[in-house]
Amino acid sequence: MGFIEDIIGIFVNPIKGYTIPESTLIVIGAAVLLSLMTTGANRFLVDYKKVAKNRREFMAWQQAVKKARKEGDEKQLDKLMKRQAAVMKMSSRATLEQMKTTAITFIPLLLVYNVLITAFPTGVAVAFSPIMFPYAGTTSTGAASFLSVVYWYFLASFAISIPLSRLFGVQTFSLTPTSVTR
């Protein structure tokens, strides 16, 4: 076995063989751990005021270009297009600012996900769903299904990360140019 398999084995052995409800809680715990790590890294490493300011300026520029095109104002459109390179550069900086934490959080995500998949293969039920999800369950009975680790982690991660991002004051983006994300 290689180095990574040894590390994964250290974490897999204690949780392997658990069934519902323990497996359900283990996956939720992993989702909470990763969400806390990701949200915390974003909170402390990304300048969301700068990102929000850049996004507002970009959206305002886009709206001005759209308005100038709609009205057929070539003079205003030429003036706005001269700023295009600067505005695109500013938008790219905002995107890169948010991508800072990707390398920090992606590797632990892969490791934890690999541990979960190894401990609970996709044919093993880790959660019970009263709602039938097509192709999500390992088996289904009537209007209910059992969920594999892939679907359960996906659902648990979203259910946990959205409130945590609000709690930490980390919002990924807004489509309105006047909204402030912090």
Spatial CA neighbour of 41 closest among 93, 110, 106, 91:
106
Three-state DSSP class for 157?
helix
Task: Report whether 112 contacts 34 (CB < 8 A).
Answer: yes
Q: What is the pLDDT of residue 181?
A: 41
Q: What is the pLDDT of residue 32?
A: 93
Ordered per-residue pLDDT tens for the chain, 182 residues: 578 788 888 888 878 877 788 888 999 999 999 999 888 888 888 887 888 888 888 888 888 888 888 888 788 888 888 888 888 888 888 888 778 888 788 888 888 888 888 888 877 888 887 777 776 655 555 556 788 888 888 889 999 988 888 887 776 544 444 444 43
Spatial CA neighbour of 115 closest among 6, 40, 41:
6
Spatial CA neighbour of 96 closest among 51, 39, 162:
51
Backbone angle region of 17, left / alpha / beta, with phi > 0 → left and psi within -120 to 50 → alpha: left
- Full-model pTM: 0.70
d(C-alpha 131, C-alpha 84), whole Å? 49
Task: Report the largest interatomic distance among the alpha carbons of the chain, rounded to a whole angstrom.
Answer: 70
Q: What is the pLDDT of residue 177?
A: 45
Helices (H), 16-101: 22-45, 48-71, 74-82, 84-99
Helices 84-99, 74-82: crossing angle, 10 deg rounding: 50
d(C-alpha 156, C-alpha 176), whole Å? 28
